[in-house]
Amino acid sequence: MVQDWRKLEVVDRCVADSYETPTMAETHSLQDLQQPAVSSKVFVQRDYSSGTICKFQTKFPSELESRVDKQQFEETIQTLNNLYAEAEKLGGKSYLEGCLACLTAYTIFLCMETHYEKVLKKIARYIKDQNEKIYAPRGLLLTDPIERGLRVVEITIFEDRSIGSGR
């Protein structure tokens, strides 16, 4: 709450003339320098049309229309879907891993990372990369779906303090 008040003050003082003077904004309030306020969150749900495999809907949420390109977003989600498909693939690698685990009475899990975990790390790197390159500059932030139990992709929309934007 306090944060909001401070922001309001800043806006008032700057005559709300958009962020043309970001420096002004910065000097005005410490809050501005730090992470901007979260305006809302969008949740991209799972796509269960092919079963319980991990796949997210590529439908472009309306709330993001003014923030990011549709193509870009869809590409991100599609890549994520591909990565998850790779993680869950029933291939020779996963089979061998299973056999090895059986033979070692599952003690192998103490030292070795499973295939899925490896791909999850890859996904985390990808998301971080996407955030840095594409989403953060647009005031958005993707949350790794693993933190939500692979149920949703949470996209945090940050307040845009430019004039005429959000609240």
Partner 1 sequence: MPGFSGGGVGGGVGGPVSAPPRPFRPSRYVPVSAATTFLVGSTTLFFCFTCPWLAEYVSAVIPIYNAVIFLFTLANFCMATFMDPGVFPRAEEDEDKEDDFRAPLYKTVEIKGIQVRMKWCSTCRFYRPPRCSHCSVCDNCVEDFDHHCPWVNNCIGRRNYRYFFLFLLSLTTHIMDVFGFGLVYVLHHRQQLDTPHAAVTMAVMCVAGLFFVPVAGLTGFHIVLVARGRTTNEQVTGKFRGGVNPFTNGCLRNISHVLCSSQAPRYMGRWRSPQAVEVQPPFLRPSLTEAQLEAKVLDNGIQNDRHSTRSKSSLDQMESQSADAEPPPPPKPELRYPGLPRADTEESSLLTEAPPTPSMYKYRPAYNSPGRNHTALSHPNKMIRGESLDSPSPSILQSSRQPSYRSEPSSLDGATVVGGSVGARRGGGERGEGPGGPGATGVTGGMSGYSLTGRSYTSYPSSLVLSAGGSRSSSLRSAQTAHNPLATLQSEGTTDTSYKSLANQTPRNGSLSYDSLLTPSESPEFESAAHELSPQKPHALFPLATGATITGQSEVVSPSSPLQGYTSPFLSAQIAQQREGQLLQGSATFSSPHRAYLRAVSPTPPSSSGPSETHHLLQHNQDSTSRALRAPSSSSSSPGVRSLEPPVSPPPRSLSLGKSHSYTGEAGPQHKPRSTGGGTVLGGGGAGGGQQAPQSTSRTVVANHTTSKPGGGVKKVTGVGGTTYEISV
Nearer to partner 1 by Cβ, of 46 and 79: the residue is: 46
What is the spatial distance between Cα 64 and Cα 51, in angstroms, rounded to a whole number?
27
Torsion of CA 93, 98, 99, 103, to 10 degrees: 140
- 18's CB contacts (< 8 A; 6+ apart) are 161, 162, 163, 164
Q: How near is the Cβ of 160 to partner 1 at its closest, in Å?
A: 5
Nearer to partner 1 by Cβ, of 47 and 79: the residue is: 47
Q: How near is the Cβ of 14 to partner 1 at its closest, in Å?
A: 13
Q: How near is the Cβ of 6 to partner 1 at its closest, in Å?
A: 14
Nearer to partner 1 by Cβ, of 79 and 101: the residue is: 101
Nearer to partner 1 by Cβ, of 78 and 109: the residue is: 109
Between the alpha carbon of residue 19 and those of residues 23, 29, 164, the distances in Å are 9, 13, 10
Q: How near is the Cβ of 129 to partner 1 at its closest, in Å?
A: 9
Q: How near is the Cβ of 90 to partner 1 at its closest, in Å?
A: 5
Nearer to partner 1 by Cβ, of 16 and 101: the residue is: 101
| 135-142 own/partner pairs: CB under 8 Å, 24+ apart | 135/68, 138/67, 138/68, 139/36, 139/67, 140/64, 140/67, 140/68, 142/76
Q: Which residues pair with 157 in a beta bridge?
A: 40, 140
